[in-house]
């Protein structure tokens, strides 16, 4: 029995969304990104791929608004578009309600953005993101996939070897970790998933400060970035 080719564009014979599956494969080729949530803070980090000596590596961790940060793995140009969408949505809330957007609504909006690209014969977003922020409900951590599915939780990993990274995190994570220990964990997980002496970019936000702060670690980028 032959399937209508227009239909086959979206669903393969097993009923999976072929284009979305391929997008997930693209994400798995990207350098790894991690996110950890604790009762009083959240930390997100991403490996920065080594580049040529005279080339500045691309940013991987972004401030969306004062109280939200995001990172991701996959096609970096897709990530830039996603980050821009989130920044616009965050400012829309400030204009409409004179209030910072809550992380849940921001994630709903960006997962809607991802989902749009699964409905039509276009290329789905080749990136998965991890969002960290603080709002009235506390410290928040989310992951959003190219399918538009959003997950809330305490630990996420996307990109190359993310399954192995999650195994490591699951056995070594504890809720009472301080920021320094959490950063050490993140760095060693990146290291132990096939990246000796990696350079990472990270960002964190605490319940007390409510401001997302970006930093770099390892590689030749020892300087802190604001």
Segment near another protein (CB under 8 A); pick from 66-74, 93-101, 168-176, 180-188: 93-101
Identify residues 119-148 at the interface with another protein (CB under 8 A).
135-137
* Nearest Cα residue to 166 out of 152, 148, 185: 185
65 within 8 A of 99, measured Cβ to Cβ:
no
CA angle 104, 114, 26 (to 5 degrees): 120
Q: Which of 105, 188, 220, 225 binds another protein (CB under 8 A)?
A: 105
- Using CB under 8 A as the binding rule, whether residue 207 contacts another protein is answered as no
Site membership for another protein, residue 54 (CB under 8 A) = no
Of 24, 102, 201, 214, the one binding another protein (CB under 8 A) is 102
Residue 108 binding another protein, by CB under 8 A: yes
* Residue written as token pair 């227009």: 6
Tell me the CA distances in angstroms from 10 to 1, 78, 99, 112, one per residue in order. Answer: 17, 20, 39, 18
129 near 82, Cβ under 8 Å? yes
- Say how many residues touch another protein, by CB under 8 A: 12
Footprint on this chain of another protein (rule: CB under 8 A): 95-99, 102, 104-105, 108, 135-137
């Amino acid at each position: 029995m032959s399937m209508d080719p227009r239909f086959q564009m979206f669903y393969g014979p097993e009923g999976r969304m072929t284009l979305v599956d391929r997008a997930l494969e693209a994400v798995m080729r990207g350098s790894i990104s991690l996110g950890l949530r604790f009762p009083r803070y959240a930390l997100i980090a991403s490996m920065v791929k080594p580049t040529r000596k005279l080339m500045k590596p691309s940013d991987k961790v972004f401030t969306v608004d004062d109280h939200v940060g995001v990172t991701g793995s996959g096609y970096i140009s897709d990530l830039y578009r996603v980050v821009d969408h989130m920044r616009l949505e965050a400012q829309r809330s400030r204009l409409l309600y004179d209030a910072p957007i809550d992380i849940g609504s921001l994630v709903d909006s960006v997962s809607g953005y991802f989902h749009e690209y699964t409905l039509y014969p276009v290329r789905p977003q080749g990136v998965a993101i991890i969002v960290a922020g603080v709002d009235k409900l506390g410290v928040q951590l989310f992951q959003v996939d190219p399918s538009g599915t959003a997950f809330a939780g305490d630990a996420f990993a996307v990109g190359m070897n993310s399954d192995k990274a999650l195994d490591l995190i699951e056995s070594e994570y504890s809720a009472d970790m301080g920021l320094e220990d959490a950063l050490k964990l993140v760095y060693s997980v990146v290291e132990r998933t096939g990246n000796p002496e990696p350079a990472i970019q990270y960002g964190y936000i605490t319940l007390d400060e409510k401001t997302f702060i970006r930093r770099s670690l390892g590689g030749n980028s020892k300087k802190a970035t604001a």
